[in-house]
A and B are shown apart, each in its own frame.
Chain A
């Protein structure tokens, strides 16, 4: 059974638009971790953020922000004032005993 769902396959925005990438997960564990990774055109996945299941505080890092809501099992990622360099495939992942990735969302930011 798929444990991480990224319903948006592809998103295209124009530079400076805000964009939110959705992630919904499924788990029976009470202790788990959620991650976001970025895969730029070069191919190597890059870690962006980790959130544990007991910490529902939203987090902001520059233009990036993350909204974790246990009530809806969601861990959404927002990019504010998007830039061309944000173009990539973004993966949400759930870590219990091992890590499970969603199918990814391809974001294209046009100039």
Chain B
């Protein structure tokens, strides 16, 4: 079974803090994704990566950065957390069989981040 794990289920941080959200997958997937999920807005793509040390912006990258130093790990960084970044953050990974767009994504359990 594909396993995508996220470092925390719940996290509470203060405004201005630097926040690291970690995601690890164990299926040797090339592609990894970070989304945030908000009521009524569904999942919105923040950043994705199709290879180590490679990153691409999604729809809402402002206020976030990412790091992918190893294939299995994709980190989301909030440089200076703000209250409007309070949300559920979901990490996902997928393989490259038949091309990146073909493959279903496997999701982690999510991290519910509250910024006070």
Give residues in A with beta carbon < 8 Å to B.
4, 6, 9, 31-33, 35, 37, 42-47, 50, 52, 91, 95-104
Contact = CB atoms under 8 A, between A and B. Distances in A.
B104 A35 contact: yes
Given A99-B33, A99-B45, A50 B102 contact: yes
A95 B56 CA distance: 16
Size range of the interface on B? 20 to 34
Contacts of B48: 98
A96 B101 contact: yes
Given A42-B109, A50-B104, 9 more contacts: A44-B107, A45-B92, A97-B101, A98-B48, A98-B56, A98-B101, A102-B42, A103-B41, A104-B42
A47 B104 contact: yes
B89 to A, nearest CB: 11
Contacts of A35: 104
A107 to B, nearest CB: 15
Contact of B42 (A96, A98, A101): A101
Interface string B41-80: 1111100100000001010000000000000000000000
Instruction: Provide the main secondary structure of the chain B interface.
Output: strand
Contacts of B106: 47
Contacts of A99: 33, 45, 101, 105
Contacts of A43: 88, 109-110
B95 interface: no
Contact of B90 (A4, A45, A96): A45
A104 B37 CA distance: 10
A33 B110 contact: no
